[in-house]
Amino acid sequence: MYARILTSLTLGFHIIFAVLGVGIPVLISIAEWLGIRKKDPRYTQMAKRWSKGFTVTVAVGVVTGTCIGLQLSLLWPSFMKTAGEAIALPLFLETFAFFFEAIFLGVYLYTWNRFKNPYLHWAFSIPVIIGSTASAFFIMTVNAFMNAPQGFSLENGSIVAIEPLQAMFNAATPSKAGHMIFSSYATSAFVLAALAAYKLLRGNATAYYKKALQLTLSLALIFSLGTALWGDIAGKYLAKHQPEKLAAAEWHFETKGEAELIFGGVLDEETHEIKYALRLPYALSVLATNTLDGEVKGLNEVPEDLRPPLFIHYLFDGMVAIGGYMIIVPVWYFVRKKWLKKEASPWELMFIIGGAPLAMLAIELGWIFTEIGRQPWILVGYMKTTHAVTSATNVGEMLALFSLLYLFLAVVSTSILLRIYKQPVVMDKVYPSVTGGESR
């Protein structure tokens, strides 16, 4: 049990920084490019300030990622021994992606004013984006493999006849990787938008913050739309390959067509009666099959001991609700700005600020949903979680140790990020030979 808690704790903590690590380089790169294109030093300054904060989040992402990488072997030795045969390739490729990212991040961060042609420096942000997005992709194929294992056969408990590429490009890979990457971009955009919104709310209405808000929100809108669209793909994947997960998430017991989507509510576990819920007719059939009358498999067809816990319904609902919020807020902002020619009101700014923690929450909810929804399996259909766990004792003490470590990292990194955030924005006078922004 402790092993499961420790794994979820490490991953739950790592994912916060991983999401920023995947998303922020994209925003930095776009801002720097705009700065060069429009000859507007404000955008350049955004790229610089964000990358300064980024060095801190990367550091925490790297060390927690190293932790999870080793912990997978320390806590799940049997799983890694068995599945390791099949997932070796993506894990291996992931480290190459990190390598690539790490090298160019070093180059990018330390060469701001080394080149005459500013596009050259900008170009170094591209490999960073490729590296971090590729590492997200590769690690998602591993997680997808746990959900939809394929490309091997099992003989006497060991994996044989492996097809590495089939294992990697399994049924769950496109939906999971795409949804994760889009949600990382969207969340990062919201986090940066919230930072600008907070300054504006505090009356710091400089052009810098206005432009930052406009840029980050427009990207947040695009990426949130992508997240929702890809979430739809993820739903269709579930309906086809892991119907028990979708059914548990939707409290859908009877197999039937024209299925309604249930939002919220309270379930009576005995009678399967649902009270106080919001019901959207046909919506579940649409989510699962893209047709109004598509048949959706119900939980009653799944043996009791293979059903995922039913509370994942709330996790799913939470994620989807936040997904809606992340689209409505930027749309509202642009509608008012474009057609009503109004600057963001304090209320709007507060909603934007709220979007950042909510987006992070949606990431956590989504993960806990898919991971718990996979139970009781660790490798769906092949290996149960209880058979994979370490036989070593002292896991409890290690849980305490790592909890302290993460607490410490959280406190220190937050305080340092706040310090960076409080530094005033220094605009460079001369362009493009950028000189400002020295931290000390």
Partner 1 sequence: MSLEILGITVLWTFLYGYLIVASIDFGAGFFSFYCKVKKEDHLVNSIIERYLSPVWEVTNVFLVFFFVGLIGFFPSTAYYYGTALLVPGSIALVLLSLRGSFYAFAHYGVRNSMLYTGVYGLTGLFIPASLATVLTISEGGFIRETNGLVEFLSDQLLKSPYAWSVVILAIVSILFISASFLTYYADKAKDRKSTVIFHKYAIMWSLPTIFASMLVFFAIYQHNPEHFQNMLDISWLFLLSLASFLVALALLLKKKHYGWAFVMVMLQFAFAFYGYGISHLPYLLYPYITISDSINSPVMGKALVTGFIVGLCLLIPSLYLLMKMFLFDVKYVQGKEKAVQR
Binding region for ligand HDD (CB under 6 A): 147, 172, 175-176, 179-180, 183, 186-187, 227-228, 231-232, 234-235, 237-238, 245, 319-320, 322-323, 326, 359, 362-363, 366-367, 370
244 binds ligand HEM (CB under 6 A): no
Nearest distance, CB of residue 260 and partner 1, angstroms: 45
Q: Which is nearer to partner 1, 111 or 300 (CB)?
A: 111
Choose from ligand HEM, partner 1, ligand HDD, none: what does 187 bind? Cβ within 5-8 Å by kind: ligand HDD
Considering the complex, state which of residue 106 and residue 157 has its C-beta at the smaller distance from ligand HEM.
Answer: 106
Judged by CB under 8 A, which of 33, 43, 98, 230 binds partner 1?
A: 98
Q: How far is CA 281 from the centre of its chain?
A: 29
By CB under 8 A, tell whether 409 contacts partner 1. yes
**For 430, which DSSP code?**
S
Q: Does the footprint of ligand HEM cover residue 2 (CB under 6 A)? A: no
**3 state DSSP class of 273:** strand
Nearest distance in Å: CB 271, ligand HEM: 26
Binding test (CB under 8 A) with partner 1, winner from 37, 38, 81, 279: 81
Does 76 sit near ligand HEM (CB under 6 A)?
yes
Is 88 or 425 the residue whose CB approaches partner 1 more closely?
Answer: 88
Say how far residue 359 (Cα) sits from the centre of its chain: 9
In terms of C-beta density within 10 A (0-12 exposed, 13-18 middle, 19 or more buried), how is residue 22 classed?
buried
User: Does residue number 216 form part of the binding site for ligand HEM (CB under 6 A)?
Assistant: no
User: Under a CB-based contact definition with an 8 Å cutoff, are residues 228 and 278 in contact?
Assistant: no
Pick the closest to residue 423 from 440, 398, 406 (CA basis).
Answer: 440
With tokens 């170094």, the residue in question is: 124
Alpha-carbon distance of 157 to 371, in angstroms, equals: 23
Is residue 143 a contact point for ligand HEM (CB under 6 A)?
yes
Near ligand HEM in 328-387, by CB under 6 A: 364, 367-368, 371-372, 374-375, 378, 385
Total length of the chain = 440
Q: What's the rounded Cα separation, in Å, for the pair 144 and 233?
A: 14
Most distant pair of Cα atoms in the chain: their distance: 72
**Minimum separation from the CB atom of position 242 to ligand HDD (A):** 7
Q: Which of the residues 54 through 73 are near partner 1 (CB under 8 A)?
A: 55-56, 58-60, 62-67, 69-71, 73
Q: Are 154 and 382 in contact (CB under 8 A)?
A: yes
Q: Are 19 and 60 in contact (CB under 8 A)?
A: no
What the block records as the tokens of 80 is: 């890694």
Residues 40-59 that bind ligand HEM (CB under 6 A): 57-58
Kindly state whether residue 78 participates in binding ligand HEM, applying the rule CB under 6 A. Answer: no
Q: Which residue type occupies 332? A: W
Q: Binding to partner 1 by residue 52, rule CB under 8 A?
A: yes
Per-state percent for the chain, helix, strand, coil, to nearest 5: 70, 5, 25
3-state secondary structure of 374: coil
| Cis peptide upstream of residue 118 (ω within 30 degrees of 0) | no
Enumerate binding residues for ligand HEM (CB under 6 A).
4, 7-8, 11-12, 14-15, 17-18, 21-22, 57-58, 61-62, 65-66, 68-69, 72, 76, 98, 102, 132, 135-136, 139-140, 142-143, 180, 184, 364, 367-368, 371-372, 374-375, 378, 385
